[in-house]
Structures are given as C-alpha cells and as structure tokens.
Amino acid sequence: MQDDPLLSVRDLSVRFHTEAGTVHAASDVSFDVDRGETVCIVGESGSGKTVTSEAITRLVPQPPGEIDAESVDFEGEDLLTLPEKRLRTLRGGSIGHVFQNPQSTLNPVYTVGRQVVEAVRLHRDVSKAEAREIAVDLLDRVGIPKAGERFDDYPHEFSGGQTQRVVIAIAIAGEPDLLIADEPTTALDVTIQAQILRLLRDIQDEFGMGILLITHDLGVVAEVADRVVVMYAGKVMEQGSVFDVFENPSHPYTKALLECLPGRRNAAEGIGGTLPDPTDPPDGCRFAPRCPHAVDACREGDQPPAVNVDGADDHVASCVYYQAGYDATVVQNAGVAVATDDADDDTARTDGGERDD
Ligand SMILES: Nc1ncnc2c1ncn2[C@@H]1O[C@H](COP(=O)(O)OP(=O)(O)OP(=O)(O)O)[C@@H](O)[C@H]1O
Ligand code: NI
C-alpha cells in the first residue's frame, strides 16, 4: 500500500490581469512532493517558479492574480478551496516558507529573538518563557553560534548567511511537514551556500519533512534533489528523478539548460534567445521558438501532453517527439550526451540522487 503524497498539485495555473494584458505566469503545473523528499523546481528567471510555489498556499494576491487548479492537495485538504482562516493556520505551521528575498522576511525594527518567538507562539500553545527557550534552541539548531547571546540582536547585525539561517529557523518554528524554500542560497557565496543546503538536509533528516526547493541553479539541484520539475515560460517541460533528468535529459529545454553548466558547451553563451512574452505565449510548445528541433506540430495547439520518455514511469517530457509517430532519437541523441566525454566534468552527474554524507 502506498501512502498518498504529502503535496499533490494538479493543473495549477496563475494569471495576472495587468494593464499590459494577461500574464500567463504558470499554466497547468502538476507535481507531487512526498514526505521526506526534496523536489526541486528549476528554470530560468521568469519561468514561473516563485509564482507556482506561492500559489500553493494562495499567497499570490488575488487580484491582480488569479489562481486555478484541478486540486492542490496537502495532507488530505484541498488548499485551493480551504477557508482563509484554516489556510493561515497552515502557513508557517504545517507549511513553512522561506521566501525569495530573506531580508523582507525579517522586520528591521524588532530583535531577531522576538521574531523567532512570535513564529513559535503563532503555532504552538506555549508560555512566553517556553517560547523563548524554543526560539533559542531553534537558532542554535540552525547554526547561530551563541544563540542565547545573539537573541537580542537586530537583523542588521547578522551576516547574509546568518540571516538566511534565522529565516529558516522562523520557517521551521511551526514544525512543518512541508518546507517551501525559494532560492534559499542564491544571494550567498558558495561556501555558505553549501552550509545552508546541508542545514536543510539535516533538518529534513531530523523531521522527515518534504521540501519543495525553488532554484535556477542546476548545481543546487544535483546536490539536494530527489526529483526535479523543469519549468519554462510557465509550463512544466520535463520531470523525473534527479538521476533520470540528469542522465537522460529528454526535453530539448532540459538539454539546453544542462549545456549551460560550467564546462559544458554553452557555459559562456547560455541558451540562445529569450523567454516569450508572458502576455502572449506562443501556441504549441512554449520552448518551440528557441528549440533547434521544432517542427510545425510543435507550434500548434497546446503544450504537448507530458508523456513517458523511458522505462521509468515517473519520467515525463512535454515534447512532440515522444508522441506516437515521431522519432524521439532526434532529440534524445542531440546535445549533452555528446558534449562531454571529459571525465573531470561531473558537475551535472549525480550519484543517482544518493546523498554522499
Ligand atoms: N504581481 C505580478 N503581476 C504581474 N506579473 C507578475 C507578478 N508576479 C510575477 N509576475 C510575472 O510572472 C512570471 C513568473 O514570475 P516568477 O517570479 O514566478 O518567476 P521565477 O521563475 O520565480 O523567476 P526568478 O528566477 O527570477 O525568481 C514573470 O513573467 C513575472 O513577471
Ligand atoms: Ni523566483
């Protein structure tokens, strides 16, 4: 018997009604996050990662936003139709959220300790003194040295890496089952970045929570993901286990992204062209205008359905070439597979998603 996923998102779409027109920020996005699992949403800037993650708990302001979905199921409740009051209990409680801009999470006029205490008391019925104890413990656990002494310091007295640790402490204050972390390491240098990723992993091991991690950095994905959702221009292009997606990238967009990794063919140039206008996305596959393999069928109708690309039934790509009557080898054999025969270049290779510590 298999447990239901912790989070199950089906056909989630987010539009913004603006003076310039309707922005199609995310369209028919579907994925699951299991308990204890890390799912990464990856894609270029503007592909709809943040909007998707914030729509899960309906944080996208409506209006100008408009969220719809078949369902957004979290622990048996449909977040899409849940009363706002219940949703507020879940936010910061069962669902922790680390926002893309950590500075905006902390209020500069209150001490860090007070803000962690507030997060604790919001979701746990404890006295002030107990909350303080829990807060110090949380700060300690996320690696703030001498947490008790730092308790009454203000946010500006913390470095970027420490600020991110505090933000994570606040996000886990409610002992979440799901942690949504939006580019949690982007602003940090590589050493600190590695520490923060390790911290998230340690917390996950301890609490068994599911993590939805948003990043544009494939290096981060290789480091932490169990599964990967590749987004482009608001649509899911490909998804599968980290092993399948890195070893057998199947959508031309995923291949193009991987070719931009350090040491790869397009490391310097990046993917040619730009994202389509989100108020007027192209017909057919949204990547077609930049795709070297695009044929007429790629420019017609809707985004191609997600179809199984190999034996693994959870590895799917939304590409015309995997449909009956097309020769999938045209896209499968192109690109990354031939780009590297350099054994040193293992940036994109992972050990099948296994953790190496
Ligand atoms: N409040 C808003 N009003 C109008 N358009 C918006 C709004 N918020 C986001 N968008 C648009 O939605 C699209 C997706 O944005 P989103 O922030 O989700 O991208 P992202 O993948 O998170 O990018 P980044 O890597 O830069 O964080 C973009 O075209 C963006 O301009
Ligand atoms: Ni974002």
- How far does the centroid of ligand 2 lie from the alpha carbon of residue 315, in Å? 24
Q: Which ligand is nearest to the CA of 14?
A: 1
**Percentage of residues in the chain with pLDDT exceeding 70?**
92
Closest Cα to atom 8 of ligand 1: 51
Two structure tokens written together for 38: 């890390």
Strand partners, 257: none
Residues with CB under 5 A from ligand 2 (ion): 49-50
pLDDT digits (tens, 9 = 90+) for 11-67: 999 999 999 999 999 999 999 999 999 999 999 999 999 999 999 999 999 999 999
pLDDT of residue 123: 85
The CATH number for 7-225, chosen from 3.40.1050.10, 3.20.19.10, 3.20.20.240, 3.40.50.300, is 3.40.50.300
Ligand 1 atom with the shortest distance to the CA of 183: 27
- How far does the centroid of ligand 2 lie from the alpha carbon of residue 49, in Å? 5
pLDDT digits (tens, 9 = 90+) for 216-230: 999 999 999 999 999
Quick one: how far is CA 342 from the chain centroid? Answer: 30
Closest Cα to atom 7 of ligand 1: 16
- How far does the centroid of ligand 2 lie from the alpha carbon of residue 227, in Å? 19
Pocket (CB within 6 angstroms of ligand 1): 16, 18, 23, 25, 43, 45-51, 64, 100, 216, 278
pLDDT of residue 335: 57
Task: Describe the chain by its helix, strand, coil percentages, rounded to 5.
Answer: 35, 20, 45
Two structure tokens written together for 124: 């746990």
- State the average pLDDT over residues 205-217: 94
User: Looking at the chain, which residues constitute the CATH 3.40.50.300 domain(s)?
Assistant: 7-225
- How far does the centroid of ligand 1 lie from the alpha carbon of residue 87, in Å? 23
The Cα–Cα gap between 183 and 108 comes to: 21
- How far does the centroid of ligand 2 lie from the alpha carbon of residue 61, in Å? 15
- State the average pLDDT over residues 193-207: 91
More confident residue, 142 or 356: 142
- How far does the centroid of ligand 2 lie from the alpha carbon of residue 104, in Å? 14
- Mutational pocket test of ligand 1: of 17, 47, 99, 253, the residue with most ligand atoms within 8 Å of the beta carbon: 47
Residue 287 Cα distances to 26, 47, 90, 231, 278, angstroms: 14, 11, 36, 10, 12
- How far does the centroid of ligand 1 lie from the alpha carbon of residue 302, in Å? 21
- How far does the centroid of ligand 1 lie from the alpha carbon of residue 47, in Å? 7
Ligand 1 atom with the shortest distance to the CA of 18: 4
3-state helix/strand/coil string of 156-178: HHCCHHHHHHHHHHHHCCCCCCE
Q: Which ligand is nearest to the CA of 19?
A: 1
pLDDT higher than threshold 50 for residue 349: no
The Cα–Cα gap between 189 and 191 comes to: 6
The Cα–Cα gap between 314 and 256 comes to: 21
pLDDT bracket for residue 317 (50, 70, 90): very high
- Mutational pocket test of ligand 1: of 17, 42, 51, 213, the residue with most ligand atoms within 8 Å of the beta carbon: 51
The Cα–Cα gap between 308 and 322 comes to: 8
The Cα–Cα gap between 202 and 200 comes to: 5
